[in-house]
Structure 1
Amino acid sequence: MKKTVFLLVASFPDSLIKFRGPLIEALREAGCQVHVAVPGLSGDSDIASRLSELGVQVHDIPLQRTGMNPVKDLSALFALRKLMRRIRADYVLGYTIKPVIYGSLAAWMAGVENRFALITGLGYAFTGEATGLRKVLRTLIQQLYRFSLSRNRLVFFQNPDDEALFRQLSLLKPAILSRVVNGSGVDVAEYTVPPLPETPSFLLIARLLGDKGVREYAQAAALVKQRFPNVMFRLVGWIDDNPDAISQVELDAWIAAGTVEFLGKLSDVRPAISESSVYVLPSYREGTPRTVLEAMAMGRAVITTDAPGCRETVVHGGNGFLVPVQDVSALAESMIKLIENHEQAAAMGARSRQMAEDKYDVHKVNAVMLKEMGLT
């Protein structure tokens, strides 16, 4: 008897293990033969071998993660269609912009019956003021979303604001079903709750992009250090190939001034979270931020923005504080509150851990997705 063939389409190899590893395991436990299609995996033997150990069949595809080159994007579309026909896919799920758009269209063209999409966030084209290149990109991506999502049976969102926006902009036709899930989830069993460090310490983990609030974090750090020079502000991440990326000059200036301690890109962020007392994410918009969930699972208070995707993770005054987007003063004030009240930071961290267990456990999230896709 032929096994159910499930194809997961991604744009970034690292995400397959870090964000989708438990989903892959859940699909295999449900009796699926799991395939993944992702660009650039042939050069990353570690991820490829780890996926093979999970029993996953890996396919390298010519998909550019960034940029809008019509010829190359069409090449990726037809490569995906060819792959889906060859492996006789029964289910296809794409996540992030290009895998959602071209994965959905290729699955429709290949006659795959069960087509799904996961909107993990809206990205550069949807954030900030729509002028110039961003306006052109926003219009193009919305048109592509509108056309491709209409080919799906169901679309998953990671927060209700994104779902409402897609409905409001008619990117999702009324006939297409949608479901909000609690982010990608986090395996709380893999995270311990270490004691808070004696000296208050803040941490931000992000791609170094403007719309992640990296500049606001550095500016707030400079303000706070005027009163509390010994408080640490650590930054984990890397400069991404993105029009909104922080420049190396900016980063070097923050480091030289002693405003932030830059730890670079880490394969395991748990030691960095362990050394922090409060996690900060001043992002302009998210799907559901994985780094916040990791910090919550490790019992850390969270300061984030009252923005889509972020506001779902924090009960203001409960497990942290919500601040307005791009409000450096409010961000600094919230930091100071937790510097001056160690007990409050600890109590908020305990609530974060409880929320991670109750709401964001990855096994609960994946169970909902498999049920909605008709696999359980």
Structure 2
Amino acid sequence: MRFLMIASFAESLTGFRGPLIAALQAKGLDVHVAAPGLAAGDPVRARLEAQGLTVHDIKMERTGTNPIADLWTMFGLFRLMRRIRPDLVMGYTIKPVIYGTLAGWLARVPRRFALITGLGYAFQQESGRGGMRALVQRLYALALGCVQKVFFQNPDDRDLFRQRGILAADVPSCVVNGSGVDVSGFATASLPEGNTRFLLIARLLGDKGVREYAEAARRIRAGRSDATFAVVGWIDSNPDAIAQSELDEWVRDGVVEYLGKLNDVRPAIAASTVYVLPSYREGTPRTVLEAMAMGRAVITTDAPGCRETVVDGDNGFLVKVKSVDELGAAMLRFLEDPALAVRMGQRSRAIAEEKYDVHKVNAVMLDEMGIR
């Protein structure tokens, strides 16, 4: 059988979907992948081809809102599918789900699946986004009416899709434990000695809680010298991106230590004491799972996708979305009681092994797709 996976960000195919692709190949499927930015000579393309995948470079504006460009994206995907004749197709993130699914329906691909990895910028409840949100929801509803199954990474997102009429009652769905994490590749690492070191890994977006993290760090740094605050990530093209001037000011003032974008985050996690992600909403945050697998306590928000990863008081703390006060208070608890990071980190590792092992997650997905 031939399987086509569609992404909006090429690097996610090797990072987030690499183990799932390998599981598909292990079942004997001929796996094709499609994403923008995979022209000949691209290093990501080379890595994918080295895995035995057939790679297709497609035109897609990941964060654009031009309807003509999006129609051309759908037409290009339709032509691709008519040419390669996949038996199964799956898209993840907004545009691949919508336009990949509709193209798959038009091209009469027998089995079509959608993976909802989060809701994205268009679903955030800020003013000025109402028209965009309504359009995205209508397109989602149209596309999801054409699939055999929809995968969600947390129950809140599925409930929201049902409540808003995006996911019809007769469309099958399944909630899986995020993208999973390779618990052997992200092995437990001893906690560092010395100052308590907090770490945030994310695209530098407002919706990731980066500003709240920086403000909490500023307040704590003003009164204590036994804590440091690191940031790993990059400034994205998203409309909600942190401004370069903001980041430069935080670094200049000694509020955070910026480590840039890392291809391998394991050394940064190993050098940290506590992992922090004050996100407004997630599918299931992969970076949290990686930190848990390496034995790190976690501070995250009591928000969809985030709350599933932490048992409050057990392997970390849950704080209110956008609350700098609660975030700072949770950080201070680790400064006042260093033993917390040890105990909670051990619990994080146990939860990662039990619930989020990538092989367990992928086995569920393949079974739900009828791939045995």
TM score, norm. by length of structure 2: 0.98
Could you list the per-position Cα deviations for residues 41-69 of structure 1 after superposition, in whole angstroms to 9, with x for gaps in the alignment?
11662211211121100001111111111
SS at match of 1:115: strand
Could you list the per-position Cα deviations for residues 1-20 of structure 1 after superposition, in whole angstroms to 9, with x for gaps in the alignment?
xxx00000001111000011
- Check if 1:280 corresponds to 2:276: yes
Return 5+ residue gaps in structure 1 as ranges.
none
Counterpart Cα distance in 2 of 1:42 and 1:196? 42
- Check if 1:52 corresponds to 2:49: yes
- Check if 1:258 corresponds to 2:254: yes
Which of 355, 370, 375 lines up with 2:366 in the alignment?
370
SS at match of 1:250: helix
Measure how far apart 1:115 and its partner are. Answer: 0.4
Q: Which letter maps to 2:177?
A: N
Could you list the per-position Cα deviations for residues 230-276 of structure 1 after superposition, in whole angstroms to 9, with x for gaps in the alignment?
31100111111111111111111111110000111111100100110
Which of 352, 355, 365 lines up with 2:351 in the alignment?
355
Structure 1, 112-121 or 187-196: larger mean CA deviation:
187-196
TM score, norm. by length of structure 1: 0.97
Query: What is the match of residue 143 of structure 1?
Result: 138
Could you list the per-position Cα deviations for residues 64-106 of structure 1 after superposition, in whole angstroms to 9, with x for gaps in the alignment?
1111111111111011111111111100000000000001000
Which of 301, 305, 312 lines up with 1:309 in the alignment?
305
- Check if 1:85 corresponds to 2:78: no
Query: What is the match of residue 344 of structure 1?
Result: 340
Q: Which letter maps to 1:188?
A: V
- Check if 1:243 corresponds to 2:239: yes
Which of 87, 92, 103 lines up with 2:100 in the alignment?
103
| 1:275–1:43 Cα change, 3 Å | farther
Query: What is the match of residue 62 of structure 1?
Result: 59
Counterpart Cα distance in 2 of 1:189 and 1:82? 40
Query: What is the match of residue 300 of structure 1?
Result: 296
Could you list the per-position Cα deviations for residues 115-150 of structure 1 after superposition, in whole angstroms to 9, with x for gaps in the alignment?
000000001111132x22x11211110111011110
Q: Which letter maps to 1:116?
A: F
Which of 293, 310, 315 lines up with 1:319 in the alignment?
315
Measure how far apart 1:369 and its partner are. Answer: 0.4
Counterpart Cα distance in 1 of 2:223 and 2:125? 32
Query: What is the match of residue 325 of structure 2?
Result: 329
Could you list the per-position Cα deviations for residues 323-359 of structure 1 after superposition, in whole angstroms to 9, with x for gaps in the alignment?
0001101100100101111111111000001111110
SS at match of 1:203: strand
Query: What is the match of residue 162 of structure 2?
Result: 167
Counterpart Cα distance in 1 of 2:41 and 2:118? 25
Counterpart Cα distance in 2 of 1:191 and 1:368? 21
| 1:224–1:58 Cα change, 3 Å | same
Measure how far apart 1:175 and its partner are. Answer: 1.0
- Check if 1:153 corresponds to 2:158: no
Size of the aligned set, in residue pairs, is 371
Aligned pairs for 1:107-126 within 5 A: 107-126=104-123
- Check if 1:37 corresponds to 2:6: no
Query: What is the match of residue 291 of structure 1?
Result: 287
Query: What is the match of residue 22 of structure 1?
Result: 19
Q: Percent identity?
A: 62
Query: What is the match of residue 195 of structure 1?
Result: 190
Query: What is the match of residue 73 of structure 2?
Result: 76
SS at match of 2:207: helix
| 1:43–1:254 Cα change, 3 Å | farther
| 1:43–1:258 Cα change, 3 Å | farther
CA RMSD, 1 decimal: 0.9
Counterpart Cα distance in 2 of 1:44 and 1:330? 47
Query: What is the match of residue 9 of structure 1?
Result: 6
Aligned pairs for 1:206-225 within 5 A: 206-225=202-221
| 1:44–1:362 Cα change, 3 Å | farther
